[in-house]
Amino acid sequence: MMRLLLFFFGIILTLLISTNANAQYICGDNNDDGSVNVGDAVFLINAIFKFGPLPIPDCIADANNDLSGNVGDVVYILNYVFAGGPPPGPDCCDPFLCGDVNNDGDITPADVLYLTNYLNGVGDPPVPDECVGDLNQDGSITAVDLGILVNYLNGGPPPPEGCCGIP
């Protein structure tokens, strides 16, 4: 049963995640009524377990911004509505911040350290996808990309927005 559920989630995740990044939306407002409340948790449960309609755009289902739309987002919404947890989003449809290689939502010296460790073979690759570390979009992560990151933190131009192919 568990394996079946996991398989099913895999299909749903593929369905839920899209690259629609420019529509007006509220992350977690799955039923599009203008606010995030328990109805949105129910909406997402229906989408996952009962083949109900998907939110539009479907990326807003990713309330916890981990690049998947699943029961974790139902829990996240319930925690927000009932337990004072953090609100969804706002970047659920724009998950790739180029240069934020440790995926904490910001570009800071910690990203330089993360990327340096990776280039030295002692750290993990950039998350959530290696593409956020390819700042010059040449298909590989090198010292040049690290240089762009360092330069930005020293007041240079910001990394490009489309390093992962999503402008």
Consecutive H or E run containing 45: helix 38-49
CB of residue 104 to Ca ion, shortest distance in Å? 4
CB of residue 107 to Ca ion, shortest distance in Å? 6
**For residues 100-139, which are near Ca ion according to CB under 5 A?**
100, 102, 104, 111, 134, 136, 138
CA distance 107 to 151: 12
13, 66, 87, 151: which one contacts Ca ion (CB under 5 A)?
Answer: 66
Q: Does 31 contact Ca ion by CB under 5 A?
A: yes
Residue span binding Ca ion (CB under 5 A) among the ranges 12-20, 39-47, 50-58, 153-161: 39-47
Q: Does 94 contact Ca ion by CB under 5 A?
A: no
Which residue in this structure is represented by tokens 């593409």? Answer: 131
| Identity of the residue, 4 or 135, whose beta carbon is nearer to Ca ion in the bound complex | 135
Q: Does 58 contact Ca ion by CB under 5 A?
A: no
Q: Does 64 contact Ca ion by CB under 5 A?
A: yes
44, 62, 148, 163: which one contacts Ca ion (CB under 5 A)?
Answer: 62
- Give the count of residues interacting with Ca ion (CB under 5 A): 17
99-138 as b/e: b if 16+ CB within 10 A: bbbbbeeebeeebbebbbebeeeeeeebebbebbbbbeee
* 8 Å CB contact between 54 and 11: no
The phi and psi torsions of 78 (rounded to 5 degrees) equal: -65, -40
* 8 Å CB contact between 100 and 106: yes
Which residues contact Ca ion by CB under 5 A? 29, 31, 33, 40, 62, 64, 66, 68, 73, 100, 102, 104, 111, 134, 136, 138, 145
